[in-house]
Chain A
Amino acid sequence: MRTILLFLVLLGFWLLLSGQFDKAFLVGSGIVSCLLAVYCCHRLKLMNEIYQPVESLPRFLFYLPWLIWQIILASLDVTLRSWGTASAIQPRFVKVPVKIRHPLAQTLLANSITLTPGTVTVDVEEDHYLVHALTDDAEKGVLDGSMEKRVAVMVPASKEAGPDQSSEVTP
């Protein structure tokens, strides 16, 4: 299932970049190279729900508009501050406790914090993030944890226990 999906995505990307649809030899070579890439991914043990979170995709599509709206707010905020004077910012570091353990969800949450108004993720620790906040409001906004709830619903429940150690590549 995941193999077929990965193959289709790779083939779509190849077709997009090359723009070849009618020459049989070139399309055949593209299919062969996509198959080779899928085989390599199989050998690298990249075929599991951490690297291909198919189950989370529909909920992510609902999350995306909210994220884009947050980015618009953030850019307006940062634009006002870059045209204003230096006293418009009071930078500080904040430690934000994080309960999510799923690696992909952690990445997504860190990226989302970076993209929302006035905050940038500086360091990701085991159970908390180090976040740089520009203002007082931004600090309050990142500490109330509403974004973590939004990200947490996208993760499959069985994966909450801890990072999957069996997915580590052992030589």
Chain B
Amino acid sequence: MMEILEYVANGLMLLGGFFAFSGSLGILRMPDFYSRLHPAGTADTLGQLLVFSGLALKIIVISLADEAAIDGLSIGKLIAISLLLFVTTPASTHAISRAAHLRGVEPWTGDPEREGTDE
């Protein structure tokens, strides 16, 4: 039972790391500003959710295996950070995109030659 839970926690963390990495890859590879918002908003949110839940599960599993008291404070802090990022990541994505839209950054429509230029 404990081994299964530990494998689950490891899998969650690795998957979260993979999602966080591919989110950054998407930001690097997408052709224009508005497309880059998509990986920044979603992949990062899932990545942090998976990594933090993996960490919390791991803390629980290890303290159960050692028959020590569960470190509730650390788990509470992990949940607090996760919730905080869950709310602020879409909000800051929206703030950036709105500012860019108001300033008039042009969207990319499929022409590979034209990219947005620096002001």
Which residues of A are interface residues toward B (Cβ below 8 A)?
13, 16-17, 19, 68, 71-72, 74-75, 78-79, 81-83, 86, 89-93, 110-111, 114-115, 117-118, 120-124, 130, 132, 134
Given A16-B73, A82-B25, A91-B35, also A115-B97 (CB < 8 A) = no
With both chains docked as a complex, state the minimum distance between the C-beta of A122 and any C-beta of chain B, in angstroms.
5
Cross-chain contact A114 with B94 (CB below 8 angstroms): yes
**B54-99 at interface with A (beta carbon < 8 Å):** 73, 76-77, 80, 87, 90-91, 93-94, 97-98
Contact B19 A75 (CB under 8 A): yes
Other-chain contact of B22, A83, A111, A123, A134 (Cβ < 8 Å): A83
The count of residues in chain B whose C-beta lies closer than 8 Å to any C-beta of chain A is: 39
B22 x A86 contact (CB < 8 A): no
With A83-B25, A114-B94, A122-B94 already in contact, 9 other A-B pairs whose C-beta atoms are closer than 8 Å: A16-B77, A78-B38, A81-B26, A89-B35, A111-B91, A114-B41, A120-B41, A124-B98, A132-B37
A115 touches B38 (CB 8 A): no
B residues less than 8 Å from A75 (CB atoms)? 19, 23, 42-43, 45-47
**By the criterion CB–CB under 8 Å, are B101 and A115 in contact?**
no
* A111, B80: Cβ atoms closer than 8 Å: no
Q: Does B5 contact A (CB under 8 A)?
A: no
Closest to B79 in A: A16
Residue from the list B25, B26, B37, B101 in contact with A123, Cβ < 8 A: B101
Contacts of A115 in B (CB 8 A): 41-42, 45, 90
Residues B22 and A82 in contact, CB atoms below 8 Å apart: yes
Residues of B whose CB lies within 8 Å of any CB of A are 19, 22-23, 25-26, 29-32, 34-35, 37-39, 41-43, 45-47, 49, 73, 76-77, 80, 87, 90-91, 93-94, 97-98, 101-102, 107-110, 112
CA distance A90 to B41 in the complex (A): 18
Across-interface contacts of A132 in B (CB, < 8 A): 34-35, 37, 97, 107
Please indicate the chain B residues that have their CB under 8 angstroms from the CB of A17 in the complex: 77
Beta-carbon nearest neighbor of B26 in chain A: A82
**A13, B76: Cα distance in complex, Å:** 9
Q: 9 closest Cβ contacts across the A-B interface?
A: A82-B26, A75-B46, A74-B42, A114-B90, A111-B90, A79-B22, A120-B37, A122-B97, A132-B34
Tell me if A123 and B38 are in contact (CB < 8 A). no
> Which of A16, A71, A72, A91 is B34 in contact with, Cβ under 8 Å?
A91
Q: Determine the chain B residues whose CB is within 8 A of the CB of A110 once the complex forms.
A: 90, 94
The answer for the CA separation of A89 and B31 in the assembled complex, in Å, is 9
Chain A residues with Cβ below 8 Å from B19 are 75, 79
